Amino acid sequence: MLRCGNALRIRANGWSMYPFIKHGDILEVEPVEVSATQVGDIVLCRYRGDKLVAHRVVGASSGEGGAALVVKGDWTPRTDPLVYAEQVLGRVVAVERGEKRTRLNTGPRWLIEVLWANVSPYSRWLYFPLRKAVHASCKVRNRLRCLRAKGRRGKGVQVV
């Protein structure tokens, strides 16, 4: 559909673009020429046969196949293999999460995306400590929920 000039909507599967894209979000993708992409864009690419990946452009390079994009998942420690023009299917222009639709590459959101893309190549040093911090905060939050629920049970309130 994208190669024919049509936009499409697909459901995100996985957590590699967390926190900007979460598992289950709906991505709106429009066709794009590789020359029109810039650092901060999220592109939909085809890898190894039929595997589709939506990752952020963090740079440009040249490889054996000519000009290429350097892309990376926001929540992954390393960049992907180089992406060549024939692999790029489109650019993600909006993300829907529940009833909320967020347009990408506009206003203050664009600045955040470009800053994130510029920090992203260095995230391999931040990835594991940040991941541990997120897991620890989730454990604390869940423990507090359990304690609050126990407290409510003791006061005659039934927790369902």
pLDDT value at residue 148: 81
**Residue 78 — left, alpha, or beta (φ > 0 → left; ψ -120 to 50 → alpha)?**
beta
Give the tokens for residue 132.
């541990």
pLDDT digits (tens, 9 = 90+) for 41-67: 999 999 877 889 999 998 888 777 778
**Distance separating alpha carbons of residues 21 and 73, to the nearest angstrom:** 10
Domain coordinates of the chain in residue numbers? Answer: 2-122
Cα dihedral 44, 48, 50, 53 sign? negative
pLDDT value at residue 160: 47
Give the tokens for residue 128.
């594991």
E-only strand ranges, 5-74: 8-11, 26-30, 42-47, 51-63, 66-72
pLDDT value at residue 114: 76
Please name the fold of domain 2-122: Umud Fragment, subunit A (2.10.109)
SS3 156: coil
Interval 28-46 mean pLDDT:
92
Interval 7-18 mean pLDDT:
91
What pTM did the predictor assign? 0.72
SS3 72: strand
CA 1 and chain centroid, separation: 22
Question: In this model, does residue 103 exceed pLDDT 60?
Answer: yes
